[in-house]
Amino acid sequence: MAGITTFLDESKMPNRSQEQKVFDNLVAFIFQNFPTWGREVNESLAAFNAALAGGAYALPYVFDSATTDSDPGAGKLRLSNATQNAATVMRLDLTAGGQDYTTLLDTMDASNSVTKGTIRLVKQGDMNKWMTFDVTARAAPAGYRNLTVVCSGSSSSSPFAASDPLMLFFQRNGDRGQPGANGVLALATATITTPVLNIDFPNIFTSDFDKYTIEIQGISFNDYAQLNIALAYGGVVSNTGDCYYAAIGNQVSANSLNFGIAIMSANGKANLTIEVKNVNGNGPKGVSAKGMFFNSPNYSASAGEGVQARTASATGFRIYSPQSASITSATVRVFGHRNS
């Protein structure tokens, strides 16, 4: 980026002392070069914002309100859900501000950490409209890139309108370390501060670990809600209805496991620990949970065990309410236990 060079030559600026033909030609020159000047301004703004962001990449995009899996168009980005903070995929054109950023976009999953980096979207000219995402994976269809994301915060459920000018800030995560002496490695953290329907980690399980612990602290909902976990296979949350509970024999649950955690008041909260076992094994996936939950003015404890009868390797999970209540706050931490 060489900075703004268009319109800096004073000899090409029109003024009243010029002959009419010269004046007309110079006015035409200005109109012809406005697009170039605009691109230079956007690029300079991106570089300036990148410096302010402390080294994060900054790219100017235009928001496209469509949700389909296709190229959003030159200089545009879109999300996979009309309720923007429920989106799980961000779709980015290869160009931004008139420049090709293919090489940069293809480094957004370079970290070997489960969370590859963080994205902050801000509406240009209105910093009160924003969203933040954790990036967990990248796909490379022709002409654009799909980033698998988890929304970690937003100014509202859908802060952006079609054609809004946005700034995208991306900060890469460092590579993850090795498991400690006890074979446990912290893989990811998600902090929810604005309402979302799901907490999704569809691709966090790998062959490096066969058992996972999910710590959930301070989870609350906007309405009555039970707390369910559904496992993902091949990055897609299962809805095959093959979950069984240890306490009630072979009774089948619809598509996920519930352990009696029920939030029945607006200020209710729960803390619990979930373990998922035999993730990569050729057999049922064991899931157990125990925790405490508060429904004003009472505290209650809950625990349970179950399995999902699938032979494929599980790749991740979803935390949600089957009553479609929104999660209003939570901190979720995922730990992997090294295979022995």
Residue 3 lies inside a defined structural domain of this protein: no
Q: Which of 122, 237, 130 is nearest to 194 (CA)?
A: 130
**How many domains does the chain fold into?**
3
This model's pTM is above 0.85 = no
Q: Are residues 236 and 329 in the same domain?
A: yes
Distance CA(107)–CA(92), nearest Å, equals 13
Residue 5 lies inside a defined structural domain of this protein: no
Write out pLDDT tens, residues 95-145: 998 899 999 999 888 887 778 888 999 998 888 899 999 888 899 999 999
Q: How far is CA 252 from CA 16, 129, 245, 261, in A?
A: 84, 44, 7, 18
Reported confidence tier of residue 155, pLDDT bands at 50, 70, 90: very high
Q: What is the CATH number of the domain that holds 163?
A: 2.40.30
Q: Which domain holds residue 217?
A: 184-338
Q: Are residues 104 and 207 in the same domain?
A: no
Q: Are residues 132 and 201 in the same domain?
A: no
Q: Are residues 196 and 164 in the same domain?
A: no
Q: Are residues 324 and 190 in the same domain?
A: yes
Q: What is the CATH number of the domain that holds 321?
A: 2.60.120
Q: No. of H helices and E strands in the chain?
A: 2, 22
Write out pLDDT tens, residues 292-327: 888 877 888 888 888 888 888 999 999 998 888 889
Among 151, 172, 193, the domain-final residue is 172
